[in-house]
Amino acid sequence: YVIKVIAQTIQLLYTMLKIDQPSYILLQNPPGLPSIAVAWIACLFWRSKLIIDWHNYGYTIMSMNLGRNHLLVQIAKWYEKLFGRLSDYNLCVTNAMKEDLWVNCNIKAVTMYDKPASYFKETPLELQHRLYMKLAKDYEAFKPRYVFFLEAERSAFTEVDEKNGHVIKTRGRPALLISSTSWTASVYLSILNSFLSSPDYEQYINEGIKLPSLVCVITGKGPLKDYYNGLINKLHFKHIQICTPWLEAEDYPLLLGSADLGVCLHKSSSGLDLPMKVVDMFGCSLPVCAVYFECLHELVKHDENGLIFRDSNELAEQLKMLFLGFPTLEGKLHNFRKNLRASKQLRWDESWDQTVLPLFGQNE
């Protein structure tokens, strides 16, 4: 740690002192060690203003591996508080973090919620079909369950109507559920493991409840992906297929905009930040089931744009409720999507103009 911090300090300071004189230096934290101190020194040199964009606390992320009482974690906590107070302006991603910064660090911040980029939106049916056909080349879950005509252009979810050439949704199609993870040891994976091992959803269908088959797409890559793929391959579900693709950057928003439900199992290390993946899902008007943590209510409004659960059993119950009678244009899942469409949430650039741009004006 010490050698790494010293090397990065020298490299970053050298780079920042070579640039043209800036009026402002905008720094996202974390990572903040050593960048907060280096940016502050550069601001002294350039007589610039330092703006820190607080997305989380770096020391809480460090504590996930080392423990909260570890000496390095305590040093990192002291460092963040000390140099955080030396900034000129501060942004943060939740009101909970804004309050925490003020109460515990004496830092006054402005809340700027993360917002989706403009390319996160609902995907037209023709684009959905092209994406499904592309993914079907590599992933079994996207291939049609039954092929009656060799010439039919069909995926698990869509097909081309032979009469008029239009893309239509396949009758009796499965529901498409999407989630994302970095495949690291976390609460996420313990919940995922419990859900994958649970026969609840399968039992509901076997008991005669009118539920669709599920295609669960879990995107991302990370150190434990192969391990969990091994567990997934040992499962023998009849009505659930699990797919773990690594998507091209342009395909990820298209798949979000095509899905029926998003599932977020992110838990904040500090309890004060919000999952960006849910922000992107909401940009696509995609309802979400998300695991509970302290400030999640600032983003996911339970029973309005999604549902909040605490364990895998509650998640299975929510899936049963949301997908009952699927694909119906009634019920909670449809209402959540209608609410998201009607919310007309700000996009990132609009939010920046309203929240952050006035800060620069204060210094003119």
Average pLDDT, the chain: 88
Same domain as 143, residue 50: no
Q: What is the pLDDT of residue 25?
A: 94
Residue 255 has φ and ψ, to the nearest 5°, of -70, -40
Same domain as 136, residue 78: no
Same domain as 167, residue 194: yes
Flag whether pLDDT at 305 surpasses 70: yes
Residue 118 lies in a domain: no
Domains contained in the chain, number = 2
Residue 171 lies in a domain: yes
Name the one residue in this structure whose structure tokens are 């509650």.
Answer: 314
Q: What is the pLDDT of residue 183?
A: 75
**Domain residue limits at 200:** 125-343
Flag whether pLDDT at 221 surpasses 60: yes
pLDDT tens sequence across 191-217: 666 666 566 788 888 888 889 999 999
Same domain as 147, residue 62: no
Count H helices and E strands in the chain, helices first.
Answer: 15, 12
Name the one residue in this structure whose structure tokens are 């997305």.
Answer: 55
Range name among 113-122, 169-178, 340-349 with the lowest pLDDT average: 340-349
Residue 119 lies in a domain: no
Q: What is the pLDDT of residue 187?
A: 52
Which residues, 6+ apart, have CB-to-CB distance to 121 below 8 Å?
A: 253, 257, 283, 284, 285
Residue 7 lies in a domain: yes
Report the distance separating Cα 84 and Cα 33, nearest Å.
11
Same domain as 306, residue 319: yes
**CATH of residue 27:** 3.40.50.2000
Same domain as 275, residue 229: yes
Same domain as 89, residue 10: yes
Same domain as 305, residue 187: yes
Flag whether pLDDT at 188 surpasses 70: no
3-state DSSP call for residue 41? helix
Q: Which amino acid is residue 85, in one-letter code?
A: R
Q: How far is CA 242 from CA 187, 214, 254, in A?
A: 20, 8, 19
What is the average pLDDT across 225-232? 81
pLDDT tens sequence across 263-281: 998 888 888 999 999 999 9
Residue 18 lies in a domain: yes
Same domain as 129, residue 205: yes
Range name among 159-163, 186-190, 232-236 with the lowest pLDDT average: 186-190
Among 126, 57, 79, CA closest to 270: 57
Report the distance separating Cα 96 and Cα 271, nearest Å.
9
pLDDT tens sequence across 54-113: 999 999 989 988 889 999 999 999 999 999 999 999 999 999 999 999 999 999 999 999
Name the one residue in this structure whose structure tokens are 């992107």.
Answer: 280
Same domain as 34, residue 141: no
Residue 120 lies in a domain: no
pLDDT tens sequence across 19-60: 999 999 999 999 998 999 999 999 999 999 999 999 999 999
> How crowded is residue 119: how many other Cβ atoms within 10 Å of its Cβ?
14
Same domain as 355, residue 336: no
Same domain as 94, residue 56: yes
Q: What is the pLDDT of residue 192?
A: 64
Residue 102 lies in a domain: yes
Residue 238 lies in a domain: yes
Report the distance separating Cα 42 and Cα 35, nearest Å.
10
Is 190 in contact with 198 (CB distance < 8 Å)? no
| Sheet hosting strand 261-264, strand order edge to edge | 240-243, 214-219, 175-180, 261-264, 288-291, 306-309
